[in-house]
Amino acid sequence: MKRPVNANFPASDEDQALLSEITHLPLRPVLIMGLHRSGTTFLYDCVAKSFPVAHLSLYHLLYFDRLLSNNANGQEQGDKDLLNRYFLARGISDRNIDGTHIDADAVEEYGFLLRKKSGTFKLADKNAVVFTRLCQKLLAVQKNTHAVLLKNPWDTGNAKNILKHAPEARFIYISREPIAVLNSMLNALLSYLEGPQDYLEILLDNGHGRSAYRTGYIAWLGLRALRTLIGRNNCARLFRRLLAKDVARQVTVYKTEIAALPSNRAIEIDYNSLIADPAATMQSLQRLLDLPISSTQENIEVKRSRNLNPMLMNYEPVLNKLISKANLGL
């Protein structure tokens, strides 16, 4: 039996004495915007590999309160190695819901940090200081970067508030066919109910274990019991309309927001075009970002989406009607 590994996550703000040294750094985030399951992770990977931008990795997220101290003391790699051993000891190698590989350098959403610090996944007045410190810390510990690349689908629809706190922000929106988004959401939900979600629990834990997300955990237990009782296909049939309504709402919010933003602040790219030619898509972003392209297709691995869930066959007209209804509700 493997012995448990203590990841030694910070229990207090170990960077407090060093914060004054980063206040001069600019607040110039580049935010990937889009619906959950719309390809934001792949877009993030492409932009991170093509431009000199700092990024948010699992190491940065989970050791946020020690980033400056580790950088000053040369301890960054030590905590990264410890985190990788921690994942290995817990049998965590991917995100479970979609097979995306997990290690200390894997990228993650800043919404999890905001939730740990303020209880909400979205940027708001009460956590704006955390967001600012995040951007400045990432610039400080990742040399030769000129902006911070972040993503957080929960903040799609929140651009006005983001600009209030980060006036120099730039937004890259990714558009994907709603039925493909719904398909990915449904498959992710079914995978989420298949077994324990150790990785997600790590992201949600604010130092108080399951008490920090008790309501969500109880809901997961109930849904998992239902999935076991009625089977995968019946579960998919049961939840497809609820998820479809959510996709319709998100599509409406997405379209309304991007239409209101000036062209020098935001750009929209098509998921299929990104998959077909990542290099050309990255070239199209250069004017908005005003950053040099460091590489294009190097180390960019294109992954094709899975086949349509059988419970969504011929369901696209229903989804389109829900989207039309949501648009009329504006």
Residue 321 resides in a domain: yes
Residues 142-198 pLDDT 10s:
999 999 999 999 999 999 999 999 999 999 999 999 999 999 999 988 888 887 888
Model's pTM, two decimal places?
Answer: 0.91
What pLDDT is recorded for position 329? 67
Residue 53 resides in a domain: yes
pLDDT of 121 higher than 90: yes
Residue 250 resides in a domain: yes
Residue span of the structural domain in which 264 resides: 16-328
Is residue 53 helix, strand or coil?
strand
Residue 28 and residue 169 in contact, taking contact as beta carbons nearer than 8 Å: yes
pLDDT of 286 higher than 70: yes
For the record, the structure tokens of 39 come out as: 């390809």
Q: 255: domain CATH number? A: 3.40.50.300
What pLDDT is recorded for position 1? 43
Q: What is the largest CA-CA distance in the chain?
A: 59
Band (pLDDT 50/70/90 cuts) for residue 305 is low
Residue 1 resides in a domain: no
Residue 167 resides in a domain: yes
What pLDDT is recorded for position 302? 66
User: How many structural domains are present in the chain?
Assistant: 1
pLDDT mean over 111-125 = 96
pLDDT of 97 higher than 70: no
Band (pLDDT 50/70/90 cuts) for residue 215 is confident
Residue 11 resides in a domain: no
pLDDT of 4 higher than 90: no
Residues 232-279 pLDDT 10s:
889 999 999 999 999 999 999 999 999 999 999 999 999 999 999 999
Nearest-angstrom CA–CA distance, 261 and 282: 20
- What's the chain's average pLDDT? 91
- In this predicted model, which residue has the larger pLDDT, 212 or 66? 66
Lowest mean pLDDT among 26-40, 165-179, 211-225: 211-225
Residue 9 resides in a domain: no
Q: CA torsion, points 184, 185, 188, 193, in degrees to nearest 10? A: -150
Residue 2 resides in a domain: no
